[in-house]
Structure 1
């Protein structure tokens, strides 16, 4: 590992978010939002899809910042332990109060110099980063400097996206984090649950800790994939610190 790469990853902040539909049921949306979801559902519906708008909201509302909300944010950083071994520390914020969750996240990243902090997520430029920004603005929370992108030139934006790194300029295909983990020989984070189960686990099982565990493991996989994309060895499991 070169000194340049060591310097770069000291400023890397890996993150992943878990989102759910904004309400446990379509009929709990106010009339205006129901009408707007109906329009969205009509555009999303393909072929012989027989699902009702209510079923589509419960299944897909979490994907859209206007119809969903954040319930967990996982984050982690690489570091060297006392034996100079590459290590990784991961933890998560989870809260049923989204505004509090977002303020806690903002306070965390504002501890780091905005002109040096590199946020990294899988499909982060299409999902995680804009979703967080939109939900912050909906709650009237001013964006942290590291997430203020308006007016910046592409080379001034430090965010990194493992999906973009894997594409090498190819914009035709989406590759999941789980698939990248598989091709790099990294253990899956999907043993306990998958992303599509987050809404029912939240609303039906009321198990926010299960979602937090899943989110933390996604961040671990993200960091390992990032290392693989740079021809670096994965962090040994004994050097991964998971903060409950």
Structure 2
């Protein structure tokens, strides 16, 4: 690929990763209706378990990964650009707040103001299964209109401008799951997961 094409492709990819926590600090802090709904979901999640799972424990351990019971507290963004010397560099920006509505609106404004190209592509690891739909659901819950690059309603698969590194790494293998930390380690890259695993964020 020549440098001209490379520049056109790389500058239109926005890499992102989100971190999520449970919507409340504990099961007891949930409204009663939500407690009942989480207990029902928890039973379904652990239907095959021989043990009886306490919904209070499962809420703290598992709620963060479900958009109905969690919230976004961090959105990390990365994009490639060329400096004055013509060298390709990665620029990174981190957004963080426990005010989720403010965080999501800030993220949306960055998408609209900094990356206005219609052919912008979003890239995340397991993004199609987690990051992208989670962001959309939380935007709807917070009464924020979904930006076009995230809104996949009615689009055909080949019209979806999303890249998923986990999907790429599968090479068609449907049963394979490879964590971002493992992929980074394989390729000798420093991973944020060396500092904290996603499962530790809620704590």
TM bracket, shorter-chain basis: over 0.9
* 1:114-129 paired onto structure 2 within 5 Å: 115-129=118-132
Cα distance in structure 2, aligned partners of 1:82 and 1:54: 54
Q: Using the TM superposition, give the Cα deviation of residue 2 of structure 1 relative to its aligned residue in structure 2, in angstroms.
A: 2.6
Match of 1:101 in 2: 103
TM-score (norm 1): 0.78
* 1:1-244 paired onto structure 2 within 5 Å: 2-3=2-3, 4-45=5-46, 46-49=48-51, 51-111=53-113, 112-113=115-116, 115-200=118-203
Q: Using the TM superposition, give the Cα deviation of residue 76 of structure 1 relative to its aligned residue in structure 2, in angstroms.
A: 1.1
Structure (1 or 2) with the greater helix fraction: 1
Cα distance in structure 1, aligned partners of 2:8 and 2:41: 45
Alignment length, in residue pairs?
Answer: 200
Cα distance in structure 1, aligned partners of 2:191 and 2:107: 26
Cα distance in structure 1, aligned partners of 2:168 and 2:68: 28
Cα distance in structure 1, aligned partners of 2:157 and 2:117: 16
Contact 2:27 2:60 in 1 (8 A): yes
Match of 1:223 in 2: none
Contact 2:43 2:53 in 1 (8 A): no
Relative contact order, higher structure (CA 8 A, sep 6+): 1
Contact 2:81 2:90 in 1 (8 A): yes
Q: Give every structure 1 segment of 4 or more consecutive aligned residues whose post-TM-superposition deviation is greater than 6 Å.
A: none
Q: Using the TM superposition, give the Cα deviation of residue 37 of structure 1 relative to its aligned residue in structure 2, in angstroms.
A: 0.6
Secondary structure, aligned partner of 1:146: coil
Cα distance in structure 2, aligned partners of 1:136 and 1:13: 19
Contact 1:114 1:146 in 2 (8 A): no
Gaps of 5+ in 1: 201-244
Cα distance in structure 2, aligned partners of 1:33 and 1:108: 33
Q: Using the TM superposition, give the Cα deviation of residue 79 of structure 1 relative to its aligned residue in structure 2, in angstroms.
A: 1.2
Secondary structure, aligned partner of 2:19: strand
RMSD of aligned C-alpha atoms?
1.4
